[in-house]
Amino acid sequence: MFLLIDMSEKDQIHLALFDTEKLVEKKYEGQNRELLLCIDNLLTENNFEKENIKGIMIVVGTGSFTSTRIACVVANTFAFVLQIPLLAIKVEEIVNVQSLIPKLLEQEKGQYISATYSGEPNIGGVASSRAK
């Protein structure tokens, strides 16, 4: 099974476990800091062990800076520990996520992905005060 992490919508964590024949999706209301808890809940509800995840797809380019960053850090950590491939996808590609499995499996195992953001980070004026 593969894992999809989509945090493109504010205060919503969209996760899916899937392979070529089966797709189980769940959307959790909550903040981005609850991502690991939501992943654990999805795996537990489906009697699936995290060690059996074969790859992860992460939605990048849409959503908040912090949510995108958290999703990438979590996925990169899983990839490192489990030595599995990662694939960054666009939110529009979720509808065909199962068709992207061959592309995911072509990725080198244990490689990190970088977040792609939909806008500039807004970190409470830190950037503007440094520019002075």
Distance CA 46, CA 41 (A): 9
Instruction: Identify residue 110 by its one-letter amino acid code.
Output: G
Residue with tokens 């392979």, as numbered in its chain: 19
Average pLDDT over the chain reads 89
Judge whether 71 and 35 are in contact, CB under 8 Å. Answer: yes
pLDDT in the model for residue 125 = 53
CATH number of the domain to which 74 belongs = 3.30.420.40
pLDDT in the model for residue 118 = 61
Judge whether 64 and 32 are in contact, CB under 8 Å. Answer: yes
Domain count across the chain: 1
Query: Does residue 85 surpass a pLDDT of 80?
Result: yes
Judge whether 131 and 29 are in contact, CB under 8 Å. Answer: no
> Can you give the residue range of the structural domain that contains 118?
2-130
- Of the ranges 28-42, 76-90, 115-129, which one carries the lowest mean pLDDT score? 115-129
* Ordered strands of the 2-6 beta sheet: 23-29, 12-18, 2-6, 56-59, 86-89
Distance CA 126, CA 80 (A): 31
Query: Does residue 121 surpass a pLDDT of 80?
Result: no
The reported pTM is 0.86
pLDDT in the model for residue 117 = 64
pLDDT digits (tens, 9 = 90+) for 25-72: 999 998 888 999 999 999 999 999 999 999 999 999 888 888 889 999
